[in-house]
């Protein structure tokens, strides 16, 4: 279970976004050729229900990788909730909502491991040696952390906010994942993870690699905007949750911003709101946005919204039906989390044992 998957390509180095994009195309090929060579770790903070932006941005891709035969670990990052707030409110509820969303979209607990990182002590213990491998200057210049500090709801920045990319490295490296599907904002964290893996191997590996250097798999999914034309986000109230019902979905889409032009077209640069609605319909219908826009043509925004509403509700119907089944069976849900945590603990214990042996501290 804890065998080290080979690094996807030891010579590869993910630098900027364009390099990561080019590399991701190559990785896609490699995954299709030999999925068994990859172990994926990815995850989310439990801060509320997931929405269509998450679905087309990452969830869909995770399930695709799982179904291709890649081993998948999904972390419910409950400690990470505390990076930008003092108390993790509604944590039990949000952890369960997240797990429900995962199951509903097709994460299969028989093949994939869903776990909460707070329940895996050995994972958290990795943070200690890992912290010794990064400098304060490196932590200080992480652009994603800087951005989160700027938008934080806390009056003071906590040590956890400052060091959470190192904790995230523990999330990734405890299971020796070699592939991490991420959005662009997570690239700096992946660089931290790669540095930690490399430095640990150099310092303690005695010529052997304890950790692989994981690579980013950048999503090729275009960005979906929320109903107000800004980034779709739970905290902005502009998101369509996977778990929303058909009526709520219709209401949200009806209230979505459009523009004054009657003719519907697809041009994200000049008509972001209309184009995002067109894109959403296209993703659900499995067609190109241009095609969808052309078909609506001069029928106007009302026709566009009807198309989007029908497409979304039809696409989500089976996902929502599955979710409702799992909602009705909380016992099963808890069992999935319990078993996922057990599996993650076994993997983390084995990795920590290796780390302690490498550091000559296995007393």
Chain contacts with ligand TRP (rule: CB under 6 A):
41-45, 75, 77, 80, 168, 171-172, 180, 182, 186
242 versus 264: smaller Cβ distance to ligand TRP: 242
45 versus 49: smaller Cβ distance to ligand TRP: 45
Using Cβ positions, the residue closest to ligand TRP within the complex turns out to be: 77
For strand 215-218 and strand 113-116, is the pairing parallel, antiparallel, or unpaired? unpaired
Cα Rg for the chain, rounded, in angstroms? Answer: 21
63 versus 292: smaller Cβ distance to ligand TRP: 63
Query: Are 105 and 98 contacting, i.e. CB atoms less than 8 angstroms apart?
Result: no
CA distances from 142 to 31, 129, 174, 221 (A): 29, 20, 22, 25
* E-assigned strand segments in the chain: 39-44, 71-76, 113-116, 179-182, 215-218
Residue that has been written with the tokens 């989310």 in this structure: 44
The number of angstroms, rounded, from the C-alpha of 24 to the middle of its chain's C-alpha atoms is 16
Least distance CB 110 / ligand TRP (angstroms): 22
56 versus 266: smaller Cβ distance to ligand TRP: 56
Query: Are 78 and 258 contacting, i.e. CB atoms less than 8 angstroms apart?
Result: no
Least distance CB 188 / ligand TRP (angstroms): 11
Query: Are 89 and 45 contacting, i.e. CB atoms less than 8 angstroms apart?
Result: no
164 versus 200: smaller Cβ distance to ligand TRP: 164
Least distance CB 144 / ligand TRP (angstroms): 8
42 versus 249: smaller Cβ distance to ligand TRP: 42
CA distance 33 to 21: 19
């Amino acid at each position: 279970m804890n065998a080290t998957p080979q690094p996807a390509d030891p010579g590869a180095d993910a630098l900027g976004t364009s390099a990561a994009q080019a590399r991701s195309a190559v990785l896609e090929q490699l995954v299709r050729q030999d999925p068994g060579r990859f172990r994926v770790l990815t995850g989310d903070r439990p801060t509320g229900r997931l929405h269509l932006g998450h679905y087309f941005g990452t969830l869909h891709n995770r399930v695709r990788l799982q179904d291709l035969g890649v081993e998948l670990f999904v972390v419910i990052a409950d400690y990470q909730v505390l990076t930008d707030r003092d108390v993790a409110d509604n944590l039990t509820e949000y952890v369960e909502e997240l797990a429900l969303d995962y199951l509903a979209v097709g994460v299969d607990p028989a093949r994939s491991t869903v776990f909460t990182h707070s329940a895996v002590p050995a994972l958290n213990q990795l943070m200690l040696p890992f912290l010794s491998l990064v400098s304060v200057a490196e932590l200080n210049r992480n652009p994603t952390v800087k951005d989160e500090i700027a938008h934080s709801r806390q009056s003071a920045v906590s040590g956890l906010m400052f060091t959470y990319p190192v904790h995230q490295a523990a999330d990734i490296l405890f299971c020796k994942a070699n592939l991490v599907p991420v959005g662009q904002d997570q690239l700096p964290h992946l660089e931290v993870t790669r540095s930690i893996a490399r430095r640990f191997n150099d310092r303690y590996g005695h010529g052997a690699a304890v950790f692989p250097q994981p690579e980013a798999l950048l999503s090729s999914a275009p960005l979906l905007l929320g109903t107000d034309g800004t980034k779709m986000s739970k905290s902005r109230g502009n998101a369509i949750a996977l778990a929303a019902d058909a009526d709520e979905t219709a209401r949200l889409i009806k209230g979505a911003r459009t523009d004054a032009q009657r003719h519907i077209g697809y041009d994200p640069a000049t008509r972001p709101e209309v184009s995002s609605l067109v894109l959403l319909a296209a993703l659900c219908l499995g067609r190109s946005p241009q095609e969808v826009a052309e078909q609506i043509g001069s029928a106007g925004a009302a026709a566009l919204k009807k198309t989007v509403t029908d497409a979304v509700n039809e696409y989500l119907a089976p996902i929502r039906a599955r979710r409702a089944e799992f909602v009705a069976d909380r016992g099963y849900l808890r069992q999935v989390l319990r078993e996922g945590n057990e599996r993650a603990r076994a993997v983390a214990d084995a990795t920590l044992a290796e780390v302690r042996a490498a550091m000559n501290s296995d007393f």
